[in-house]
Structure 1
Amino acid sequence: MATVQTVNGEVECAELGRVLMHEHVFVQNHEFQVNYPETWDDEARTDDAVRKFVDLKASGIDTIVDLTVLGLGRDIRRVQAVAERSPVRIIAATGYYTFADLPTHLRVRGPGRMFGGEEPLLEMFVRDITEGIAGTGIRAGILKCVTDAPGVTPDVERILRSVARAHLQTGVPISTHTDAIAERGLDQQRIFLEEGVDLGRVVIGHSGDTEDLDYLQRLIDAGSYVGMDRFGLDGFMTFEKRVATVAALVERGYASRIVLSHDTSCHSANVPDEYREKNWPNWQFLHITEDVVPALLEAGVTSEQIVTMLEDNPREIFSGASSD
């Protein structure tokens, strides 16, 4: 039986239940918190996260994938403190988040770099998956990488290729961040194919930020899943357009290649809580179960297709199976 690593240990993929495939527990800036400690209350933030996940479980969601990696302030011990009290399973990720450049200490190391040596990114990612993160023994269950508006910069390409090679060594799936308007998912697929990755093990993230069905169909026809995973970010694209895009893809026969999520968090240092509440009130964990699923059903998506997107596809992504 195929298994997946969660923050609380290994579980069978068949037990994942309903899964939100692209979320975050905490997006942090540790340097800022260390120098201005009054900006972070660990106990209050942990309690708040647990409350949110208790409500999420009650809404019918069983598992989230926390795609917080280096560059977004991953702190696995803080996530562990939440997971120990959360009824929702949390799957941790490894990888690196940057739109353009790596920090200097990584940029100057590796093949062809100032100080040479082996590629440090690959070693980091594989160790997180096979041994555990930060000495905790908590193993990452998925890889994360980013290609945004700046495109495939030299450092972004290093990350993409290291993620691909870590995937080939460990077998864990890949999930990405993209700028869908710039069609960056195609760049990612090209590099992954050059590295020998089966695109059926890849989720091209933030694909729901575009209505371009031809672009989305190209990603799917190449083998990848598409992440319709920013529900609630209505300032990027309206709720109605996001729902209509998913419904149109389902009508084309692609329910088996779609996953749903919000890309939200219990707390983000990058988005003030008061701004989120005022401008993006739907950008919270209950939006899919309370609003999106009913709207998709009204748009003609069947209950069985909802199960496919929220249960079957995540299980197959982590197990390496395919519904096709």
Structure 2
Amino acid sequence: MCDRSRMSQIHTVRGPIDTSELGRTYMHEHVFVLTPDVQQNYPDEWGDEDERVADAVTKLKALAAQGVRTIVDPTVIGLGRYIPRIQRIAEQVPELNIVVATGCYTYTDVPFFFHYRGPALDEIAGVSLPDPMVDMFVGDIEEGITGTGVRAGLLKCAIDSEGLTPGVERVMRAVAGAHRVTGTPITVHTHPGSRSGLEVARVMCEQEGVEPSRIVLGHSGDTTDVEHLTELAEAGFVLGMDRFGINIETTFEARADTLIEMVRRGYADRMVLSQDASCFIDWIDPNVKAMLTQWNYLHIENDVLPYLREHGVSEEQITTMLVDVPRRYFEAR
């Protein structure tokens, strides 16, 4: 019998739920990834708003029909977050929880909005100024996003092959600051080929005091370097094996075999699964996107899990990655 006294709550688009209700969770899926000023000025590709919403509802209902109960959508500043549209979709897919994020997505500099605010003015002001990003992120978590009442359930930042640029570092520290205020967990887009997870460890954990267990290192499955992944898992991070279906610079088998080896090494309790898919993304030419035939919400259930089972991954280990680790990540404070 479930001990309700030990449960925590997580905020979703439709309101708070107990973490016991998360169920099977995909920890990195977008609904839309957009470039808003392009879409507003050149809307032909986007087309009709109602049709886009209806298409998203159809795709998310198909995902829910596979038994997935929650998706975590890390769409933040820089990725075209627009919560009223997500609310409209969520109301039509009540069988699926959608957890949204706050933060800022950049591989290089902060958005121009922040160029002459906060720490950027330290030298001129002669004092250390607080970063307005922290208050913005905390407000999204504690009060809600843009007057919608929808509260963010996690924080998001990024570091890619460009490394720890001043802009990336500033966002990373702002996210850590908001985490210290709210206790909200963090996901970081990383580039495992350049071992950028080690920079996350240095800045966010060693210097800013964030516990590694509160951080998902996104896109860890982009590498087959299991020794590096083992190092990160041993440090306490959660590894996001979350790009199944994006087989451009790797293969389905490489992604799956890396996951299988990490399970064999005993790290099922340090990994989460996802596809980094979306209903619509304007970052990629539609003709190229059409070539990625496995990059969709249904790929894990249809292709990945059968492959894992065939190669010795147990149902208990699959449940650990899809249910237990996400719940633990959101419950911890």
Report the TM-score range of the alignment, normalised by the length of the smaller protein. over 0.9
Q: Separation in 1 of the partners of 2:286 and 2:16?
A: 33
**Which 10-residue stretch deviates more, 31-40 or 167-176?**
31-40
* 2:283 is equivalent to residue 276 of structure 1: no
Aligned to 2:258: 245
TM-score, length of structure 2 as denominator length: 0.94
Q: Separation in 2 of the partners of 1:300 and 1:113?
A: 56
Aligned to 2:113: 105
TM-score, length of structure 1 as denominator length: 0.96
User: Cα distance, 1:294 vs. partner?
Assistant: 0.5
Letter in 1 for 2:54: D
User: Cα distance, 1:178 vs. partner?
Assistant: 0.8
Aligned to 1:29: 35
Give the secondary structure class of the aligned counterpart of 2:301: helix
Deviations 1:272-312 (A, max 9, x none): 3332122x110000000110001011111001000000000
| Aligned 8 A contact 1:255 1:308 in 2 | yes
Q: What are the residue-to-residue correspondences of 1:263-302 with 2, within 5 Å?
A: 263-278=276-291, 280-302=292-314
| Aligned 8 A contact 1:229 1:260 in 2 | yes
Letter in 2 for 1:15: E
Identity %: 48
Aligned to 1:76: 83
* 2:102 is equivalent to residue 90 of structure 1: no
Q: Separation in 2 of the partners of 1:72 and 1:192?
A: 22
Q: Separation in 2 of the partners of 1:74 and 1:112?
A: 25
Deviations 1:25-55 (A, max 9, x none): 0011111122123332211110000000110
| Aligned 8 A contact 1:60 1:289 in 2 | no
* 2:210 is equivalent to residue 197 of structure 1: yes
Aligned to 2:3: none
| Count of paired positions | 320
* 2:22 is equivalent to residue 10 of structure 1: no
Deviations 1:85-123 (A, max 9, x none): 113110000010011011222122112427764201111
Give the secondary structure class of the aligned counterpart of 2:243: coil
Letter in 1 for 2:69: D
Letter in 2 for 1:121: M
| Aligned 8 A contact 1:131 1:137 in 2 | yes
Give the secondary structure class of the aligned counterpart of 2:276: coil
User: Cα distance, 1:164 vs. partner?
Assistant: 0.8
Instruction: Show structure 2 runs of 5+ residues with no match.
Output: 1-6
* 2:321 is equivalent to residue 309 of structure 1: yes
Q: Separation in 2 of the partners of 1:38 and 1:255?
A: 44
Aligned to 2:176: 164
| Aligned 8 A contact 1:257 1:313 in 2 | yes
2:26 to 6, 20, 33: 20
Instruction: Show structure 1 runs of 5+ residues with no match.
Output: none
| Aligned 8 A contact 1:107 1:155 in 2 | no
User: Cα distance, 1:180 vs. partner?
Assistant: 0.9
Q: Separation in 1 of the partners of 2:82 and 2:113?
A: 19
| Aligned 8 A contact 1:100 1:153 in 2 | yes
2:238 to 211, 215, 225: 225
Give the secondary structure class of the aligned counterpart of 1:14: helix
Give the secondary structure class of the aligned counterpart of 2:89: helix
**Which 10-residue stretch deviates more, 197-206 or 266-275?**
266-275
Aligned to 1:145: 157
2:274 to 261, 279, 282: 261
Give the secondary structure class of the aligned counterpart of 1:150: coil
Aligned to 1:187: 199
Q: Separation in 2 of the partners of 1:118 and 1:183?
A: 30
Give the secondary structure class of the aligned counterpart of 1:50: helix
Letter in 2 for 1:18: R
Letter in 2 for 1:218: E
* 2:225 is equivalent to residue 212 of structure 1: yes
Give the secondary structure class of the aligned counterpart of 1:200: helix
| Aligned 8 A contact 1:5 1:139 in 2 | yes
Q: Separation in 1 of the partners of 2:37 and 2:120?
A: 29
Aligned Cα root-mean-square deviation (Å): 1.2
| Aligned 8 A contact 1:208 1:228 in 2 | yes
2:50 to 36, 43, 55: 43
Letter in 1 for 2:105: Y
Q: Separation in 1 of the partners of 2:241 and 2:250?
A: 12
| Aligned 8 A contact 1:267 1:273 in 2 | no
User: Cα distance, 1:60 vs. partner?
Assistant: 1.4
Letter in 2 for 1:35: N
Q: Separation in 2 of the partners of 1:118 and 1:160?
A: 14
Q: Separation in 2 of the partners of 1:28 and 1:60?
A: 28
